[in-house]
Structure 1
Amino acid sequence: MRLSRPARIALRVAAALGFTVIYVPLLLVLLNSFNAARGFGWPPSGLTLHWWADAWHSSGARAALWTSVKAGLGATAVSLVLGTLIAFAVARYRFFGREALSFVVVLPIALPGIVTGIALNTAFRTVLEPLGVGLGLFTVVVGHATFCVVVVFNNVVARLRRTSGSYEEAAMDLGANTFQVFRDITFPLVRTALLAGGLLAFALSFDEIVVTTFTAGPGIQTLPVWIFSNMARPQQAPVVNVVAAVLIIASVIPVYLAQRLSADSASGGRL
C-alpha cells in the first residue's frame, strides 16, 4: 500500500510526538541523576556524580535492589518452567479445553495490576496464612510469576507453531530416545525463544510495583517500591533519581536483548 505524501508526513509527526512523550521523561530522569541540585528542578544547576556515590552507599537502596533481583530470578525460573510446559501442551497436542487453557494463561497480563494484587492478597491470606506461610518474598515471586509466565508462553508457543513436529518424529524413527530428541532437536529449536522470554519475564518482574505492594510482607521492599516510598522525602530526592535511572537501564537491557534474539531467530533461526 502506497501512502500519499501528506499521509506519510502526518504519520511521521504522530510517531515523533509519541516517541517524545515516551522517551523524553526517561531522558530527564537520567539527566536529573547527575543534577548537582538536591531536588527535581530543571534545568540542572550543574553535573555531579556525588548522588551516584550516595546511592551506592545507601543500605536501603542496595537491599531493595537485591530483593528485586531475587524476586525477578525466582519469577523468571517459575515462568520458564510453567510457560514452556503449557506452550508444548498447547502447540503439540490436541485436547478438550486447549483454547480455554491458552486464554487462562494469557489473561493475567491483561487484568489491571490492582485486581491481580487484591485477588492474590486475599488468596494468600486465606490459604497460606493458616498454614503458617505469611506474606514475603515467596508470595512476591508467585505474584510476579502469574503475569511473567505469559511472555514465556507466548514466545515458546510462537516458535513451536513455526516449526514442525516432524523433526522430533524423524529423530525418534532413527532410534533417538526422549532425552536425546529434546537435547538435539527440540531445545535448539526453542532455545532463543526461551532466552528471550526469560529476559522479558525478568524485566517485567524487576519493575513491577502494584502486585508487589499487595503481595509483599512487612520489611520486603523491591526497588520500585523503595522509589515510591521515598518520593515524598526531599532529602532522598537525588538518590531516588539515581535509583530510578538504574531501574530504567536495568529494564531496557533485557528488553533490548530479547528483541534482538527474537529478530535474529525470526530471520535465520528456522530449520
Structure 2
Amino acid sequence: MRLSRSAKVVLGIVSGLVLLFIYTPLMLVVVNSFNADRTFGWPPKGFTLEWWGKAFDSPGVRDAVVSSVWVAVVATIISLVLGTLLAMSLQRYKFFGRDIISLLVILPIALPGVVTGIALNNMFTTILGVPLSLWTVVIAHATFCMVTVFNNVIARLRRTSAGLEEASADLGAGVFTTFGLVTFPQLRSALLAGGLLAFALSFDEIIVTTFTIGAGETTLPIWILQNLFRPNQAPVVNVVAVVLIVVSIVPIWLAQRLSGDSVGVSGARVKAD
C-alpha cells in the first residue's frame, strides 16, 4: 500500500503531535529533577544536582529500590518458569479445554488492576490466612508478568518446527536433554525478551502492589505515591520518577530489539527454506 505525499505529511504531523502530547509531561519530570526551584517554577531559575544527592542519601528511597528490584527479579524468575511451561504445553500438545486454558492464562493482564488487587487480597487474607508481605507481592506480580513470557514463548514455538525435538527423542535423548540442547537455544531470545518485559512490568506496578503489600513495607512506586504531596519530598519524588522512567525504558527497548532480531532471523530462515 502506497500513500500519497500529502497523506504521509498528515500522518507525520499527527504522529508527532501524539508523541509530543505523551512525552512532554515525562520531559517536564526530567527537567524538574534538576530544577533549583523547589516549587518547580517555569522556566527553571537554575539547575542543581541537590535533589539527586538527597535521593541517593535517603534510606527510604534505597530500601524502596532494593524491595522493588527484589520483587521484580523473583517475579520474573517465576514468570519465566510458569510462562514457558504453559506455552510449551499449550503449543506442543493437543487436549480438551486447551483454548479455555489459553484464555485464562492471558486474562490476568487484561483485567483492571483494582479487580486483580482486591481478588488477590481476599485470597491471601480471607481464604489462605497468609499475612501480606513482599512475598505476596511477588506472587501477585507473577500472575500477570508470566503473560508476557507466555506470549513471547508461544509466538516463537509457533514459528519453530517440532521436528528437531522429535529427531532428538528418536536419537535417544531424554526430555531434559532435548530441552537443553534443542528447545532452549531456539527460545533463548524470546525468553530474554519476555523476562525483560516482565521485570519492567513488575518494577513499576503500583495498583496490585497497594492491595497485596504488608504494613511497613514499600516499593519504589508505593514510596512515590506516599511522598508525592509532601512539599519537602516533592523534588526527590521527581528524581525517583526519572529513575523509574529509565528502568522501564531500558528493558522494553532491549526486549524490542531482541524481538525484532528474532523475527528477522526467523524470516530469513523461512526464506532460505
Which TM-score band applies after superposition, normalised by the shorter structure? over 0.9
CA contact (8 A) 1:40 1:237 kept: no
Q: Which residue of the partner structure matches residue 71 of structure 1?
A: 71
Gaps of 5+ in 1: none
- CA RMSD in angstroms, aligned pairs only: 1.2
- 1:165-244 alignment to 2 at 5 Å? 165-244=162-241
For 2:261, the aligned partner's letter is: D
For 2:146, the aligned partner's letter is: V
Aligned pair count reads 268
For 2:154, the aligned partner's letter is: V
Aligned-residue identity in percent? 61
CA distance in 2, matches of 1:43, 1:81: 49
CA distance in 2, matches of 1:223, 1:15: 32
Correspondence 1:161 to 2:168: no
CA distance in 1, matches of 2:113, 2:42: 32
Q: Which residue of the partner structure matches residue 15 of structure 2?
A: 15
Gaps of 5+ in 2: none
Per-residue CA deviations over 1:158-179 (Å, capped at 9, x if unaligned) read 0000001001111222232222
CA distance in 2, matches of 1:196, 1:86: 17
- Structure 1 length normalisation: TM-score? 0.96
CA distance in 2, matches of 1:135, 1:69: 18
Question: How far 1:41 moved relative to its partner?
Answer: 2.9
CA distance in 2, matches of 1:41, 1:70: 36
- 1:1-271 alignment to 2 at 5 Å? 1-129=1-129, 133-268=130-265
- Structure 2 length normalisation: TM-score? 0.95
Q: What stretches of structure 1 move > 4 A for 4+ residues in a row?
A: none
Per-residue CA deviations over 1:49-74 (Å, capped at 9, x if unaligned) read 11111000001111111110111011
Question: How far 1:4 moved relative to its partner?
Answer: 2.6
Question: How far 1:137 moved relative to its partner?
Answer: 0.4
Per-residue CA deviations over 1:101-149 (Å, capped at 9, x if unaligned) read 11001111111111111111111111232xxx30010110111111101
Do the aligned partners of residues 89 and 8 (structure 1) sit closer, same or farther apart at CA in structure 2, a change above 3 Å counting? same
Query: SS of the residue aligned with 1:235?
Result: coil
